[in-house]
Amino acid sequence: MGCINLLDPLLSSRIAAGEVIERPQSVLRELLDNAIDAGATEIRVSLDNGGIDRLSVADNGSGISREDIALIGSRHATSKIHTQDDLYSIETLGFRGEALYSVGAVSRLTISSRDRSTREGSTLTIDNGRREEITSAAPDAGTVVSSENLFGDIPARRAFLKRASTEASMCRSILVAKALAFPSIHFSLTVDSALRLDWPICATLKERVMFLYRSEGIAEADTEELHYESGDYSIDIIAGNSAVKRSDRKGIRIYVNNRPVDEYSIVQAVCYGYGELLPGGSFPYAAVFIHDNPELVDFNIHPAKREVKIRNAAEIHHAITVMLQNGIKRKIPEISPLQPEFYLGKAERRESVFSPQSGNPSQMHSPQMKEMPETLSERVSTYRERDSRWLEKAKALSESRKKLSEKVPEPAEKEETEDIPIRYIGQAFKLFLICERGDELYLVDQHAAHERILYDELLSQKTVQPLLVPIRIEADAILDEFLSGHSEVYTKMGIMLSRRSDGIWEITALPSACRQIETEITDFISSARYDEKELESKLFAVIACRAAIKAGDSIDRWSAEELLKKVFQLDEPACPHGRTFLIKLKEKELRQMVGRSGDSNGTERVSSVPLSE
């Protein structure tokens, strides 16, 4: 007797459904795609027991005719494509005709709809692959699709589902992912009769994305909106600035033709675009919406349609990187004043946005009440947008003086336009240099600041020092090939590499700043695989980090004052690794912290705030 037999149709349908439907989240993903494709402007989702007992999606779309209801739920039945050529120009979210068939194979699926054109209503039920008679019951408009008792007839699959709360959370995540790309649709989510999400129709894409960002504690002032168009594609990005970061890449969301996808190369482009704006190990919040020519995009790869092939991916990758490099700005931390409300458990969070053109306050955001953090480090929560002249209020005065002197000689006794002096106060915790400048107090991380200064000096001056004894490097085949093609890049940076034989290289000269850190340089060369620009920036960052004053080092007054002078001449208040090294506090805010008001030169009044409250 032969070993091969034909599977029972019901069994084969459940096997096939397992590729598409894994849990309630999978059901919701497919039903949302259909509702959006139907032209709905309102979609209501309802879950019972995490969607396991019941999951319902109601929309006000075009509806389904009775003729189509008779075919719906059959395998490969779809209204989205008709010919093979349609696969290469897909503009809808659904297209395979497998979703409802799969849901109907593993649950009790009910589809009730009213056709918008004929006003005819009909309802079809498919109970674990068994079709029932079509009835005339229907909603007043649109379509309601429900899935009940998911995997009820497949106990082994149901046993792998998680708790109801976890499944509901996953469903919410997929709803949010779909809703972000469609601001013209009202989405709501009800879980066990309680409304959990209600996102109304929005006028812009940024307005919709801010529903998500605000729920994660991100203020609109800390986000940027970027747009770019070119030939076959356009890109919209709503992203956080340098004040907004997280420890993983989950805050980076990629959409291609309104479909959320997992595309690592584009995630990588976002990270490249931020560059040194974020410290090492930190990642941004960014929602990237790519609208590409459908003929250049292929989603027919994975059953869940989370993967995509993009023919012009390299061009889009470059465009995203450049958009972020030019559009995202750094913010400088400021210590928030402790208002009297702090003693009642609340305080104001205020933010001033400075105009890059003038350097003066151009907009004040209304105060928002929030819980005041417990520690001082947590109070460093407000940020000021970086201006390319972030510390040049005084420098602007001296520049004005220079221009004026070209026309009219200035009297020697006139001192109003002199650069604002820096008064060094001291060192705190053998890490922070404290200084006073005008009406502002500054805390400067001595290591990060010195590291930045050395880094900039290395970029501008590459003094080479020959080595009496060359440093030997043993390279594997991959490194040997890499160095053979990139040795001239190291030469431009003052590192002379010479190939002695297969796999044997020698360093014959180094920049003068690399003395006593030859081991770090050798380790870097042995492991680095970057392009020319990255090689230079990362190598000099290593050199500057090793040569800079360390946290814990004592520093004399003269050295501290010289370091601070150079700090206030920098254009970028961040170390080469992207960490901001400066915090400032205005005199007025410091007085508010201790309850004082009034001018420092006049009569002051001390506010009385009972500590017991």
> What confidence score (pLDDT) does residue 366 get?
36
> What confidence score (pLDDT) does residue 233 get?
92
> What confidence score (pLDDT) does residue 597 get?
62
Element at 511 (helix H, strand E): strand 504-511
Task: Reply yes or no on whether the pLDDT at 407 is more than 60.
Answer: no
Closest alpha carbon to 26 in 175, 134, 210: 175
Task: Reply yes or no on whether the pLDDT at 377 is more than 50.
Answer: no
> Looking at residues 248-261, what average pLDDT do you find?
92
The least confident of 214-223, 347-356, 551-560 is: 347-356
The least confident of 28-42, 224-238, 262-276, 475-489 is: 475-489
User: What single string gives the DSSP state of each residue in 307-331?
Assistant: --EETTHHHHHHHHHHHHHHH---E
Contact in structure between 98 and 75 (CB atoms under 8 Å): yes
> Looking at residues 92-98, what average pLDDT do you find?
60
> What confidence score (pLDDT) does residue 231 get?
84
Cα–Cα distances (Å) from 317 to 235, 262, 267, 277, 297, in that order, read 11, 14, 9, 19, 14
Task: Reply yes or no on whether the pLDDT at 199 is more than 90.
Answer: yes
Better pLDDT: 334 or 571: 571
Cα–Cα distances (Å) from 161 to 53, 154, 166, in that order, read 12, 12, 9
Q: Which domains can be identified in the chain, with CATH numbers?
A: 9-199 (3.30.565.10), 205-327 (3.30.230.10), 421-580 (3.30.1370.100)
> What confidence score (pLDDT) does residue 357 get?
36
Contact in structure between 554 and 427 (CB atoms under 8 Å): yes
> Looking at residues 585-597, what average pLDDT do you find?
79
> What confidence score (pLDDT) does residue 110 get?
94
Element at 385 (helix H, strand E): strand 382-385
Rounded-to-integer distance, Cα 341 and Cα 142, Å: 51
> What confidence score (pLDDT) does residue 355 get?
33
Read off the pLDDT band of 374 (50, 70, 90). very low
Per residue in 493-521, pLDDT tens? 777 888 888 888 888 887 766 666 777 77
The proportion of the chain whose per-residue pLDDT surpasses 70, expressed as a percent, equals 70
> What confidence score (pLDDT) does residue 19 get?
59
> What confidence score (pLDDT) does residue 69 get?
83
> What confidence score (pLDDT) does residue 284 get?
92
Task: Reply yes or no on whether the pLDDT at 582 is more than 80.
Answer: yes
Pairing of strands 504-511, 252-256: unpaired
Task: Reply yes or no on whether the pLDDT at 91 is more than 90.
Answer: no
Read off the pLDDT band of 594 (50, 70, 90). confident
Task: Reply yes or no on whether the pLDDT at 587 is more than 50.
Answer: yes
Rounded-to-integer distance, Cα 43 and Cα 49, Å: 20
The least confident of 295-309, 445-459, 580-594 is: 295-309
Read off the pLDDT band of 390 (50, 70, 90). very low
The least confident of 446-450, 479-483, 540-544 is: 540-544
pTM: predicted TM-score of the whole model, two decimal places: 0.59
The least confident of 148-157, 304-313, 489-498, 590-599 is: 590-599
Helix (H, G, I), strand (E, B) or coil at 509: strand
Q: In what order do the strands lie in the sheet with 259-261?
A: 223-230, 233-240, 286-292, 252-256, 259-261
Rounded-to-integer distance, Cα 325 and Cα 334, Å: 24
The least confident of 45-54, 93-102, 237-246, 277-286 is: 93-102
Average pLDDT score, the chain: 76
> Looking at residues 400-408, what average pLDDT do you find?
46
Rounded-to-integer distance, Cα 454 and Cα 544, Å: 5
> What confidence score (pLDDT) does residue 187 get?
96
> What confidence score (pLDDT) does residue 44 get?
96
Per residue in 415-458, pLDDT tens? 443 478 889 999 888 889 999 988 889 899 888 888 888 877 77
Gyration radius (Cα) of the chain, Å: 31
Helices (H), 46-117: 66-69, 99-106
Between 518-527 and 477-492, two packed helices, what is the crossing angle to 10 degrees? 120
> Looking at residues 283-311, what average pLDDT do you find?
82
Per residue in 62-82, pLDDT tens? 898 888 888 886 665 565 544
> Looking at residues 111-115, what average pLDDT do you find?
92
Pairing of strands 186-191, 42-48: parallel
Q: Which residues pair with 528 in a beta bridge?
A: none
Tell me the helices (H) and strands (E) count for the chain, helix number first: 17, 30
> Looking at residues 362-366, what average pLDDT do you find?
36
Range with top average pLDDT, 252-256, 407-411, 471-475: 252-256
Task: Reply yes or no on whether the pLDDT at 544 is more than 50.
Answer: yes
The least confident of 282-286, 403-407, 428-432, 547-551 is: 403-407
Rounded-to-integer distance, Cα 210 and Cα 241, Å: 14
Classify each residue of 32-49 as buried b or exposed e, where b means 16 or more C-beta atoms within 10 Å of its C-beta.
Answer: bbbbbbbebebbbbbbbb
> Looking at residues 516-542, what average pLDDT do you find?
68
> What confidence score (pLDDT) does residue 359 get?
37
